[in-house]
Amino acid sequence: MGLSRKIATGLLLTFVVFTAGYAVGKEVGVRRVLDRMPDAASTTSSSAASGLSERQLVAWYYHSTKRCKKCNTIEAYGKEALETLFADRMASGEITWQVANMDDVWNQGAVQRYGLLRSSLVFVDMLDGVEQDHSVLNRVWELTDDKKTFFAFVESEVEMVIDGWEDTADDGSEEEE
């Protein structure tokens, strides 16, 4: 009886240690995701204090846990295109690059909102920390074999968003598309 009690106690202790470790790991993962998200309140107050609206383009690469060669290429080309073609805007924070696993439960809202079915590059237009619009760049799947065309496509999509900011700033209202 003493031996089986020791075994049961050891198994129970092992279970408790692994459960606690899993819970801590999940909490750390959630905190990392939350730390990457913009703080809308601080963004709004800093831009309100300056009297200017703060525009930002957030380029999200959503991927699934299992990734294929094309998925990895889309991520690499997307990040490289932004860092190469828009280095100044990336350095200033006007354009940011974010990566998220679409299989994680805390990303399900974005996956549903953007209608994502596979790994995707999504551009989110932000004004004072609030999403104004978004575009899912599905065409990148067709362009993974042609880096130059991939870069040109990403560049045109970024410029379309930024041109919209300038149009809004010029006339004081947003244009309807």
Q: Please write the tens of the pLDDT for every residue from 136-158.
A: 999 999 999 999 999 999 999 99
Task: Please say whether the beta carbons of 78 and 59 come within 8 A.
Answer: yes
Output the six-digit token pair for 149. Answer: 């065309």
Average the pLDDT over each of 20-34, 92-106, 126-140 and give the range with the smallest value: 20-34
Residues in the chain: 177
Residue 131 reports pLDDT greater than 70: yes
Output the six-digit token pair for 94. Answer: 């006007």
Task: Please say whether the beta carbons of 164 and 125 come within 8 A.
Answer: yes
Task: Please say whether the beta carbons of 99 and 63 come within 8 A.
Answer: yes
Helices (H), 40-140: 40-50, 69-85, 87-92, 108-114
Place of tokens 């309140």: 41
Residue 97 reports pLDDT greater than 70: yes
